[in-house]
Structure 1
């Protein structure tokens, strides 16, 4: 599969409010009404995760697609604050206006969407690297991208698109035949995205919530990076005025955009999934600082006597260690 080029489309969109982009990937935002998937990728400087890929794919297929012939790249996918996703309309060339039947046009759109989603999952990786995907997501993308190969057979059977209720039977047939049947319609893609959930009927709410969170967290990350950039500039001015380079200033300046984005992703993950804290046993309050009232050895022995640590049993020879055992018992008293 072709690797993404990670280039900006450079096409202006009047539906986005004016913003000033800086060389470090941050920009002064005036609360945009929509963000392209490419902007999201550049903000995080890493690919989207699989749950986000499922959500973007589902929301793209559930939204309106009038006047869209193909998905050029992740810049053609537009996320909105409410969690809806739409495709950017592009100017048609004269050679593209000749008649394609609606089924063929939708098949080509599904295929290009699969390539764009894969590009977002593969974004930023070297040519020698390839991201490992779950079998379900990899199968979905393969079936979307393979839509042009088996499209004639699927197009001839128009009844299977209506509701796509025979999905399980078709998958059993595919396993028996040893081939992957391509999906050629938005309805089929949505059915596959919903079927992976424990309750497929909740797919619209779930995937919209995922896209809404992706939009909001991207804006919050961009705001955070702007504050970091401004703080760096202020520290540089202070250091030049004082003619001194503080060590903390140098360490802060060494952190790049990708480092801040990685820390932000880690923080969001911990806030969403929670952090497991270690159990702390109640200890009697001591007015004197323990680290100075006892030596490190005495502190360790105190912890062992109080059984704060569980020591593993070690099997040793009884004859050799009778004297050692006696000495240990004596030291513990």
Structure 2
């Protein structure tokens, strides 16, 4: 082997080692952001995209995802300091702030569903459900259910709570009950709504339509990332980095079909119709960039408090200051 060849090989090896070492040093300098999220929740599609494409490193942090069994487990981990960020709705953040907790909301999704019936159902309006069973995921204080109740009262002088029988259950159970005809209508989380649509059910009334009728802004993002206020004050670059990585992932998933094909194995889509419905539903729920309209959010909270009271919102009878991260954070 010639001296030149040995020298060139050594130079390449040194260059590779230097590059690897620089990346490792850079990684050591980046803060780790621990996210506790529902193990099989749709937020994992975005978080997986962030990790796979290196959007966390690009924006100055390393994402570490912890799967948990439910939203309550995520909240416990967050409140115990075992996680830096969770996903919840801003109404929960408002309740916590009213009780003295310093939590801040970063928009993630505005995806909401509606009330769905079988395609061949004779039900064409909400009053047709009088005396029937409605399956509801999320419990009696589910926000979609409350909005639909308000719509029925305003437009049909109908008390959905009193005039129907409610069946509450986990999203998969409500999905099965709706497909099996055990309930006349169902309100489910958006991704199960997409699955029901793919299975041949139709939307009787969307939450978006009901909210608009009630003077609410359907573009108000309901779900978001939640962080401690201290993080926003002490390390704004980290919070900005999370928001920027989330937006970059959304921009990619909004347009890149290949990015979705990569995610398909973890989407639990039974067939092409379900897969297409899930992609379309996620894309439809991407919130517009920019600050949350706090006046619109205040109107929504007022309605939620009117219907759910302290049981839903605790001491948050009006929108507390500081719920939403400021523009650029």
TM-score between the two structures when normalised by the length of structure 1: 0.23
RCO comparison, higher one (Cα < 8 Å, 6+): 2
